């Protein structure tokens, strides 16, 4: 087995593990009471939804690699499109917030 094949097998597992760590950090962020009353969390909530979609995508990838499910490969493109759209939306939300409150 080549290095590339080994990496293709283990990478989705590592991605899933790091995504769960990031979800725990998001939960910690949302539970922390801010010192300032005008902390803007909406863009972080949108990024959190994108992270949850990523976890679903990686879980499907791991299940497909393990032979548990047989989803078509092109379904990952829909997940990637949703993740990208949500991150762009979060950036636009943050830009709009900065325009209104920081200028």
Domain that residue 98 falls in: 3-102
pTM (two decimals): 0.84
Q: What pLDDT does 71 receive?
A: 82
Token pair, residue 57, equals 């995508």
Per residue in 51-94, pLDDT (tens digit) is 999 999 999 988 888 889 888 888 999 999 999 999 999 999 99
The structural domain count of the chain equals: 1
8 A C-beta contact, residue 26 and residue 55: no
């Amino acid at each position: 087995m080549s290095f590339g094949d080994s990496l293709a097998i283990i990478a989705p597992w590592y991605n899933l593990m790091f995504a769960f760590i990031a979800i725990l950090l998001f939960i910690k962020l949302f539970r922390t009471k801010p010192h300032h009353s005008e902390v803007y969390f909406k863009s972080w909530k949108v990024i959190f939804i994108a992270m949850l979609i990523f976890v679903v995508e990686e879980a499907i990838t791991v299940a497909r690699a393990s032979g548990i499910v047989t989803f078509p490969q092109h379904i990952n493109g829909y997940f990637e499109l949703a993740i990208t759209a949500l991150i762009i939306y979060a950036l636009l939300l943050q830009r709009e917030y900065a325009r209104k409150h920081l200028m």
